[in-house]
């Protein structure tokens, strides 16, 4: 256990690119997890038509504070659409295999999948959803009001998760990046989760929300909650969005 960090850095040093699957002509992995049979795709409102207040970058950065609790919070599909687009949405497709999104990505590989638990989102049932960046849509993975409690238990923070309007879960699919960058791609997954969450903090600030971000969660519980494949899909970061109010007992 004491050498995990050193082994990770050593195992993810700059690769010999002649050995990566891209060069070896191994078929490219899909850029987005497929929609399962029977799932309904929900088209989101266009974020480009949604007007948000102009908040100076400095004000957004200086206004950020660690969140210890939320008041009962809610949002709607327009605001949700904007936050999803700011964090993993498309700017343009440069080529068949190169996508530019609103966050940096090593090799433009974009290894993250965005899931979210909708607690109080106008127009959505309580449940777990996944974002589809290519079509700027979402798909319901699991409709279940009990997911709010499951998420709060898994993330060790009842007062935040049960009161948040929505809680984002970023899941890495490492092979998307490893295919092109070798083992170096494992570092990219973690770094890009940070980029993505920072964009959420800035976008949420435009809307008057605060963000509680954490990598402190029970991996096994999150994997079960989102029905992930633990061999190929890794939960890496969680961020709850809401409004701060008076800290009162439940």
The tens place of each residue's pLDDT in the chain, 250 residues long, gives 678 999 999 999 988 888 999 999 999 999 999 999 999 999 999 998 888 888 888 988 988 888 888 999 999 999 999 999 999 998 777 766 667 889 999 998 999 999 999 999 999 999 999 999 999 999 999 999 999 999 999 998 878 999 999 999 999 999 999 999 999 999 999 999 999 999 999 999 999 999 999 999 999 999 999 999 999 999 999 999 999 875 444 4
Query: Closest by alpha carbon to 164, among 85, 86, 243?
Result: 243
For residue 122, report the phi and psi dihedrals to the nearest 5 degrees. Answer: -55, 125
* Residue 184 three-state SS: helix
Q: Taking CA 127 as the corner, what is the angle to CA 145 and CA 31, rounded to the nearest 5 degrees?
A: 160
Across-strand partners of 122? Answer: 76
What does the alpha-carbon distance between residue 75 and residue 81 come to, in Å, rounded to a whole number? 10
Reported pTM: 0.93
Residue with tokens 């092979």: 175
> If residue 182 lies in a helix (H) or strand (E), which one and from where to where?
none
CATH code given to domain 53-242: 3.40.109.10
pLDDT at 250 (0 to 100): 42
Domain regions of the chain by residue span: 53-242
What does the alpha-carbon distance between residue 133 and residue 32 come to, in Å, rounded to a whole number? 8
């Amino acid at each position: 256990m004491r050498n995990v960090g050193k082994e990770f850095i050593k195992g993810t040093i700059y690769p010999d690119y002649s050995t990566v699957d891209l060069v070896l002509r191994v078929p490219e992995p899909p850029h987005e997890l497929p929609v399962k049979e029977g799932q309904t795709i929900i088209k989101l409102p266009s974020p480009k038509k949604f007007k948000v207040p102009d908040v100076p970058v400095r004000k957004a950065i200086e206004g950020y504070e660690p969140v210890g609790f939320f008041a009962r919070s809610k949002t709607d599909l327009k605001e949700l659409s904007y936050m999803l687009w700011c964090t993993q949405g498309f700017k343009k497709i440069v080529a068949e295999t190169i996508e530019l999104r609103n966050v940096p990505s090593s090799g433009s590989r974009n290894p993250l999948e965005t899931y979210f638990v909708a607690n109080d989102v106008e127009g959505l049932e309580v449940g777990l959803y996944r974002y589809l960046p290519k079509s700027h849509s979402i798909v319901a993975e699991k409709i279940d009001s009990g997911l709010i409690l499951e998420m709060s238990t898994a993330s060790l923070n009842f007062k935040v998760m049960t009161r948040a309007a929505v809680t984002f879960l970023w899941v890495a699919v490492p092979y998307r990046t490893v295919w092109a960058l070798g083992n170096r791609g494992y570092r990219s997954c973690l770094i890009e989760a940070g980029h993505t969450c920072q964009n959420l903090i800035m976008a949420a600030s435009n809307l008057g929300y605060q963000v509680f971000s954490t990598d402190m969660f029970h991996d096994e519980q999150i994997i079960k909650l989102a029905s992930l494949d633990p061999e190929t899909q890794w939960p890496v970061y969680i961020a709850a969005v809401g409004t701060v109010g008076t800290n009162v007992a439940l």
